[in-house]
Chains A and B, each alone.
Chain A
């Protein structure tokens, strides 16, 4: 496959760009593989890539029901960060951010990782204290975190309403290395790199059942025929419960709809990622100029990939409370993605009670930033049979053992993040 470089771009331009090859190989299913990864989103493709690259397992198939990245990989707000409080999460997401930092060189693909920084606004003394605690936790793990004051923030984002009557801004938590990446490019980049190493990417191939032998899972039934494999890994986001049910599994997951939005294109306005601390609103500006933003879940079980107007209003109200100058910006598009909301707000990367079946799920709505590390750890689990050190806490049985990873500390609710 072609390597992308400045030299190749120039020489292709001289040949009028007539001999570019497809980015990845659209494969037909073979009869059997070493590993099948179900789900052709970011997580599934990253898993396949690291299986081939790190563990040398190249007889791998990625099965995708639609087209690559047609689910949540193409529906998120593209934020990458590692400002978590609980140690299990802090370490994991920092590892992910480090993979993001060298992803383009690793994949030889422009994933447009932009470390433009992220601000969490504090609107009360209590919130500032909580951010101080979180910043300390981050720094103890060697992650950059800064508590910034209002004067500093006014220089960075003068258009924000600092003197809001109800939610005056008192400071913020700043992570400089956080930022955004181009979500589709992440999918294509991993697909290309995995395909190059011999991974079969099979689209329009929906799993309809599991092939069992003596209690083990030894393959999957699909709309394109039966495919056998020693190990099957699920990386299905919102559809996890649905497919796991075909193997008789019940999971601590509910599927909820989360909406995201993009405005018409504006001249450069927002230099970083902004998180409103009093409501729930997060925004960044894409390179095309559109403001990409989102807020809360709609709040009820859904597989519909679209939400309701009341949440649209709610998110926009949050946005206007933070940045009043957006009041006349027109909304260009909105869409919904289906989140696999786990019951403590943290993910699961673990084997299942069924031999041969492995699970990567429960990402709630923080799955995008986790893509490289989730792929890395899931590949480790599939290849070696034991959890990667960084994902050891993300066990499926933690709900029974009580070792929950409850980042917000509010108990069993499937609508955390």
Chain B
């Protein structure tokens, strides 16, 4: 598997560290149902067989956090963006 880092170019996946599902967002501790939302964010996952949006860290490269769209059945990668930019849009 090779990941196209927007800063470094295409690199082997072994240069990257994996964090997991990018849709798991930290809940607002002051918000309503904070406990239930933390439970969802920490433990529960969609775990799709197909397109999965996930966070990778280019540990042995530019050290950017990346948001990667990847097919979990074929390991094909559709889209890579800086995680920061993906958050802004």
Given contacts A300-B54, A301-B47, A310-B13, 15 further A-B contacts (CB under 8 A): A241-B46, A245-B46, A250-B45, A253-B45, A254-B47, A300-B18, A301-B72, A302-B75, A303-B49, A304-B74, A308-B14, A310-B14, A399-B44, A412-B42, A414-B20
In the complex, the number of residue pairs spanning A and B with C-beta atoms less than 8 Å apart equals 67
CA distance A304 to B18 in the complex (A): 17
Residues of chain A whose beta carbon lies under 8 Å from any beta carbon of chain B: 239, 241-242, 245, 250-255, 299-304, 308, 310, 343, 399-400, 412, 414
Residues of A with C-beta under 8 A to B13: 300, 308, 310
CA distance A254 to B46 in the complex (A): 8
CA distance A251 to B43 in the complex (A): 8
CA distance A250 to B43 in the complex (A): 10
Q: State the interface size on chain B (CB cutoff 8 A).
A: 24
Given contacts A301-B54, A310-B13, A414-B20, contact A250 B72 (CB under 8 A): no
Considering only residues 40-81 of chain B, those with a C-beta below 8 Å from chain A are: 40, 42-49, 52, 54, 70, 72-75
Report which residue of B43, B46, B47 has the largest number of chain A beta carbons within 10 angstroms of its beta carbon: B47
CB distance from A57 to the nearest CB of B (A): 31
Residues of A with C-beta under 8 A to B75: 302, 304, 308
CB distance from A403 to the nearest CB of B (A): 13
Q: B1 near A308 (CB under 8 angstroms)?
A: yes
Interface membership of B12, Cβ < 8 A: yes
CB distance from A301 to the nearest CB of B (A): 5
Nearest 7 CB-CB pairings of A with B: A310-B14, A241-B47, A252-B43, A399-B43, A303-B49, A300-B18, A343-B43
Residues of B with C-beta under 8 A to A343: 42-43
Interface membership of B39, Cβ < 8 A: yes
**Nearest opposing residue in chain B for A342, CB measure:** B43
Q: A251 near B47 (CB under 8 angstroms)?
A: yes
CA distance A399 to B39 in the complex (A): 7
Given contacts A301-B54, A400-B39, A414-B20, contact A241 B72 (CB under 8 A): no
Q: A310 near B45 (CB under 8 angstroms)?
A: no
**Nearest opposing residue in chain A for B41, CB measure:** A412
Residues of B with C-beta under 8 A to A251: 44-45, 47
Residues of B with C-beta under 8 A to A239: 49
CB distance from B15 to the nearest CB of A (A): 9
CA distance A414 to B45 in the complex (A): 10
